[in-house]
Structure 1
Amino acid sequence: MVQRSGLTRGDRRRNDRIEALRTVIRSDRAILAIDLGEDKQVAALLDHDGRVLGRRTVTVKAFALGGLLAWAAAQAGRHGFARVVVGCEPTGHRWRSVMQLADDAGMGFVCVQSLRVHLAREADDYTRDKTDHKDAVVIGKLIARLDCYLPERAEPDWARLRHLGARRARLVTEATSCQQQIADLLGCCWPAALAAAAKPLESTSWLACLSVVVDTGGELAALAAAGLDAFTAAARARLSRFAATRLSHRIARGVFAALTDPGGVGAQRPGALERAGLVLADWQHTRARLGDVQSRMLGVLDAMGLTALVTSIPGLSTVGAAVILAETGDLT
């Protein structure tokens, strides 16, 4: 959309972003660029033309960099700068400690995306050579060109939601991995079972039937000899493990039929079914932890008074809204 001034909405947003950055990266502030590490921090103090005014390497954790910031402030004063703006890559959670130290010292703080540093390193001297000292200078030059961003300063509730969202993402990955492992194992040792349901790993009845098999040591012949009624009763007794109460008799019959016609690699069957049982237990544990973290996320939404707002959006579940907000932060 083009405005009367000739500027597009994108132009206006870029201009606003530049103005916001310029309030922090001012001409009267020297640039302290830090290449963060676990135990060693390499820093370079630059002016806005990319000239290096000083260097320092310290062997401390990121949360103990107060002395480095004090050194930078003194060094900047000797070169005629009133203050310092601190910048680094958003490495792990270390950058948050540096941001807190910069805020406490009355300094500005910005972050530079790691991809920009990687590309700028190649463009700087046409090599891929990576050293901490070179990266510190590259970070400083990017800040001088405003190729950086102002990081979020989350309030406690928002920060908690972000951490819970990160944990949920990891648990979802774990749960998906467990599903894929079970499907791969059965595809090798007992493929007939996978045909008993359209989407077996999403069927609580099918999972209950699988539990019967793995709980009895994968003795398919013995289960088949016990009969369909005994197998169905055992599967029904395991439904509670999957938060279900009704058993699909069609699926139970399909799994029972697969007991006598398993297919697959017979030599792999005992070990693979044992492993599938272990993975199934892992999956159940992961699902329980996933439910716990999602309940905590909903509690954070309640604490922030956002539950009523997100439930008013058609097609969006409360958990879905919590996940979106955990990734994006405050939508305002």
Structure 2
Amino acid sequence: MKFKSQARQNQLIEKITAQHLVVGIDIAQQMHVARAVNFRGIIIGDHLSFSNDEEGFHNLLLWIQKLPTTHRLSAAIVGMEPTGHYWLNFSRWLTEHHFEVVLVNPHLVKKNKENRDNTPSKSDRKDALVIADMVKNGYYLVSRKTPQAFEDLRVLLSNRDFVVKRLVSAKNQIHRWVDVVFPELRHVFKDITCVGSIATLRLFPTPAELSKLQPQNLIQGWKTIMKRHCGARKAKALIELANHSVGSQSASHYYKLHLNQLLAEYDLACEQLEVVEKEISTVLERIPFAKYILTIKGISVISLAGILGEAGDLSGFVHGNALLRHAGLNLAEASSGKWTGQMKISKRGRSRLRRFLFMATMSLVMNNSEFQAMHAYNVQFKKMKKMRSIMKLCGKLARILVGMARSGKAYMPQKTLPLLQAA
């Protein structure tokens, strides 16, 4: 399929022939609703409400099989919104039963709901009809089957995001605990979550306990946890600060209980994050072109895994611009007559894919000499603002990634900077 917007739209419309039954389904947690139209948008049959289980799916199958026979249609296409996670099992079941499944953008469904009746009313039956109309008009995306390795990456990255949120929350709560009970700890350890600080909080969390110790006692305690302790100077400084601490001295027993729970949550999150990232590296080894992409200086395992998990097999994109559109990083114009507005990114795509493409580009600008040169050229000679240059380099990265995936070739820096070399 062509990546230019107009050509792609024409192809999607041409796929809907006079022999097609177009089915729109409004997805919900327990009960789905289906409506059907022909290629001209004429409603066919009554609506169907069916449950989100195998019996309900078979009821839909019988309903779809009956309508083409009655109206002399020979093909069917099923459209739906990717609502939360409720559509996943249903879409997989339809694909296994040889139905063509397509997806419509929920934002577009909201924009098109007044087309038929010119009212802002909303219901499951109306939404199903709006979805069917959108599919008939070519406003849909073809649902591609994702290879197993990319599906694994998507699950692992979702899991990683959840673990990272818990880890950040645990760190923030530990910072709060230190500010309340022993704020002077920051004078010795600039990073509260460093090895020495965490070891101190595990062994002697409150100033009252530290003030009773000698430096050698603190060092002996550190040695039970750390291979290399923090030294006598820091031990002495901690004890002196503990003697004059302004931290809370009440409810010390329950503050210690709270800290133990926070440290347990912190340890669990760190352990789970290590396991998930190890699994991500293992899955990436199953993707042939991933090893070539990882040779690019500045591309990390997590950034690449995030891009592949959200975008799927990059060799399925005909051009890097198609990947940008999938991420919502394509440009949107606003102009009318003599007035020309500012160009902005559309943000009509996968937000997580945008995040990983942006993070990967920032890492390349900081660590990769080719991207550093392009960024400097954009800022100094083309007089671009820095953020505009970064967004332009996101497009460059997308084209490089898709090109490497489609060709199966290693990264060639000399091809990255042809214009700058000519200059």
Instruction: Please classify the TM superposition score into its range, dividing by the shorter chain length.
Output: 0.7 to 0.9
The residue that corresponds to 1:70 in the other structure is 62
2:202 aligns with 211
Query: Structure 2: which 5+ residue stretches go unaligned?
Result: 316-423
Q: Distance in 2 between matches of 1:143 and 1:85?
A: 8
Instruction: Please say if 1:13 is aligned against 2:28.
Output: no
Measure how far apart 1:122 and its partner are.
6.4
Pair 1:184-2:147 in alignment: no
Cross-structure match for 1:42:
33
Q: 1:186–1:272: 8 Å Cα contact kept in structure 2? A: no
Distance 1:38 1:63, change over 3 A: farther
Name the structure 2 match of 1:276.
Answer: 259
Q: Secondary structure of 1:226's match? A: coil
* Offset of residue 279 of structure 1: 1.2
The answer to whether the 8 Å contact 1:63/1:98 transfers is no
Does residue 231 in structure 1 map to residue 222 in structure 2?
no
Match in the other structure for 2:394: none
Coordinate RMSD, CA, aligned: 2.8
1:248 counterpart = 2:230: yes
Code of the aligned partner of 1:18? Q
Asked if 2 retains the 8 angstrom alpha-carbon contact of 1:30 and 1:76, the reply is: yes
Go from structure 1 to structure 2 and tell me whether the alpha carbon gap of 1:211 and 1:306 turns closer, same or farther (over 3 Å shift): farther
- Identical residues among aligned pairs (%): 21
Shift of 1:299: 0.9
Determine which of 71, 77, 98 is the counterpart of 1:79.
71
Partner of 1:327: 310
- Secondary structure of the 1:58 match is strand
Alpha-carbon displacement from aligned partner over 1:218-245 (angstroms, at most 9, x marks no partner)? 4x32332122221222123223xxxxx4
Partner of 2:282: 299
8 Å CA contact retained: 1:224, 1:260: yes
SS at match of 1:267: coil
After superposition, what is the alpha-carbon deviation per residue over 1:116-142, rounded to whole angstroms, capped at 9, x for unaligned? 323434676676654222221222222
Is the alpha carbon distance of 1:268 and 1:144 closer, same or farther for their aligned partners in structure 2, counting shifts above 3 Å?
Answer: farther
**Post-superposition shift, 1:84?**
1.1
> How is 1:124-273 mapped onto 2 (pairs within 5 angstroms)?
129-201=121-193, 203-214=194-205, 218=206, 220-239=207-226, 245-249=227-231, 252-267=235-250, 269-273=252-256
Provide closer, same or farther for how the CA distance between residues 78 and 258 of structure 1 changes in structure 2, counting only shifts above 3 A: farther
- Aligned equivalents of 1:306, 1:256: Cα separation in 2: 55
Q: Distance in 1 between matches of 2:52 and 2:139?
A: 28
Q: Which residue of 1 aligns with 2:21?
A: 30
- Contact 1:40–1:61 (CA<8 Å) still a contact in 2? no
Aligned partners of 1:62 and 1:94 also within 8 Å: no
Deviates more, 1:116-125 or 1:34-43: 116-125
Contact conserved, 2:294 with 2:301, CA < 8 A, in 1?
yes
Q: How far apart are the structure 2 equivalents of 1:40 and 1:175?
A: 37
Aligned mates of 1:237, 1:328 — CA distance in 2: 47
The one of the two structures with greater contact order (alpha-carbon pairs below 8 A, sep at least 6) is 1
1:308 to 272, 291, 297: 291
Aligned to 1:96, which of 88, 102, 105? 88
CA distance in 1, matches of 2:261, 2:237: 23
Tell me the secondary structure at the aligned position of residue 316 of structure 1: coil
Equivalent position of 1:288 in the other structure: 271
More deviation in 141-150 or 264-273?
264-273
2:43 maps to 1:52: yes
Cα pair 1:165 1:326 within 8 Å, conserved: yes
Corresponding residue SS for 2:260: helix
Q: Which moved more, 1:290-299 or 1:85-94?
A: 85-94
Would the alpha carbon gap of residues 14 and 75 (structure 1) be closer, same or farther in structure 2, given more than 3 Å must change? same
* CA–CA distance in structure 1, aligned partners of residues 214 and 189 of structure 2: 20
Distance 1:111 1:180 in 2: 39
Q: CA deviation at 1:115?
A: 2.6
Are 2:13 and 2:136, in contact at CA under 8 Å, matched by a contact in 1? no
Structure 1 position 324, deviation (Å)? 2.9
2:110 paired residue among 83, 97, 118: 118
Normalised TM-score (structure 2): 0.66
Greater mean deviation of Cα atoms: 102-111 or 282-291:
102-111
Distance 1:16 1:182, change over 3 A: farther
Q: CA separation of 1:292/1:141 partners in 2, compared to 1, >3 Å: closer, same or farther?
A: same
Matched residue, 1:3: none
The alpha carbon displacement at 1:270 in A equals 4.1
Single out whichever of 144-153 and 32-41 deviates more from structure 2: 144-153
User: What does residue 383 of structure 2 align with?
Assistant: none
State the TM-score, normalized to the length of structure 1.
Answer: 0.82
Report how many residues are paired.
312
